[in-house]
A = this chain, B = another copy of it.
Amino acid sequence: MRILITGGRGTVGSVLLRELESRGHHVVVCDVAHGVEEVGFSLRTDVESPNYARCDVSEYRQLERVFDVMGPFELVYHMAAEFGRWNGEDFYEQLWRTNAVGTKNVLRLQERHRVRLVHFSSSEVYGDWEGTMSEDVMDQHEIRQMNDYALSKWVNEGQIRNSILQHNTESVIVRLFNTYGPGEYYSPYRSVNCRFIYCGLRGLPWVVFRGHFRTSTYVDDTVRTLANIATTFKPGAVYNISSTQYHSIEQLSELVVKVTGADPKLVDYRNAEILTTRMKKVDNSRSVLDLGHEDTVDLETGISRTAEWMRRIYQLPVLARER
């Protein structure tokens, strides 16, 4: 199958690329920066079969060119997005341009090329919902998204729903829950797992907000399920893609201390954070049933693997405590 991944250089995309290629698909990736396997649009391409295109999805012309030059595609995994709630508060210009305009650009090209779409949404769309997050709770309940990032992801789902109604497009929405693992490069805006591990390895202090509960989903488990959609595509479906292993943020932090060997005094405990959901209880039965989703990596194993990868990437010593 000929597949495009937008934003395919990210934490999930880079693993998804490998998984889809290993299953024999022809995969093209686009993302915002230049890269080694990149096609030259107006100049000679040095590599033999470039599978990467530089493209900012918020620029329609650039996205159209990817379809024209690298296509046709049968399926698009649209994961190009500004990620994270504080990132969205601090960089809301990029957030709205990439997430709202970028997704609308993808939809316009989907409508023209009649390609199938897998859109990447987020558990953040469940906003202030404190019950179990099953995919259709927002059909029955009014949910308030608590930050611009969450609002933008919910807007995307609305744009897709309206495009299905108006243009009969075929789309699947996946809502990812705290996916983590090797490949997530540190910044202060990344997932809590990434940040804690990085701080642990570097011997930097980190803050733990008490009373928040999450599931952490190891990237390989997420990606196997995502790749299954290529062959089990139900137009209009919405899926939570999540582990069901719950943990508090305190527990996550304690595991990071154990795995990295960091000094427990680096951890600064504080009370609940604003603008986010305290408890994320997820119902993932639909992705288990339709897509064969499986949890195969427990939190401690996942953190260990991520820490190993991060040590290598950032060339950090094994015993951070001794620094």
Contacts and interface: CB of A to CB of B under 8 A. Distances in A.
Nearest to A147: B162
A161 interface: yes
B166 A274 contact: yes
Interface string A105-130: 00000000000000000000000000
A125 B180 CA distance: 36
Interface in A150-174: 151-152, 155, 158-159, 161-162, 165-166
Contacts of A159: 148, 151
A143 interface: yes
Given A138-B142, A151-B159, A100 B104 contact: no
Interface string A251-294: 00000000000000000000000110000000000000000000
A242 interface: no
Contact of A162 (B96, B146, B158): B146
- Copies, count: 2
Contacts of A146: 162
A140 interface: yes
A68 interface: no
Nearest to A96: B100
Q: Determine the interface band of chain A, counting residues with CB < 8 A from chain B.
A: 20 to 34
B275 A162 contact: yes
A151 B158 contact: yes
A113 to B, nearest CB: 18
Contacts of A151: 155, 158-159
A97 interface: yes
B145 A158 contact: yes
Contact of A148 (B104, B138, B141, B145): B104
A101 interface: yes
A322 interface: no
A188 to B, nearest CB: 18
Nearest to A158: B151
Contact of A100 (B60, B100, B141, B142): B100
A144 interface: yes
A93 interface: yes
A48 interface: no
Contact of A101 (B92, B166, B275): B92
A142 B141 contact: yes
A141 B142 CA distance: 5
Interface string A163-207: 001100000000000000000000000000000000000000000
Interface of A: 60, 92-93, 96-97, 100-101, 104, 138-148, 151-152, 155, 158-159, 161-162, 165-166, 274-275
7 contacts: A60-B93, A92-B104, A96-B101, A100-B148, A148-B159, A155-B155, A165-B275
Given A92-B104, A144-B158, A147-B162, 8 more contacts: A96-B96, A96-B100, A139-B142, A146-B162, A148-B162, A151-B158, A151-B159, A165-B275
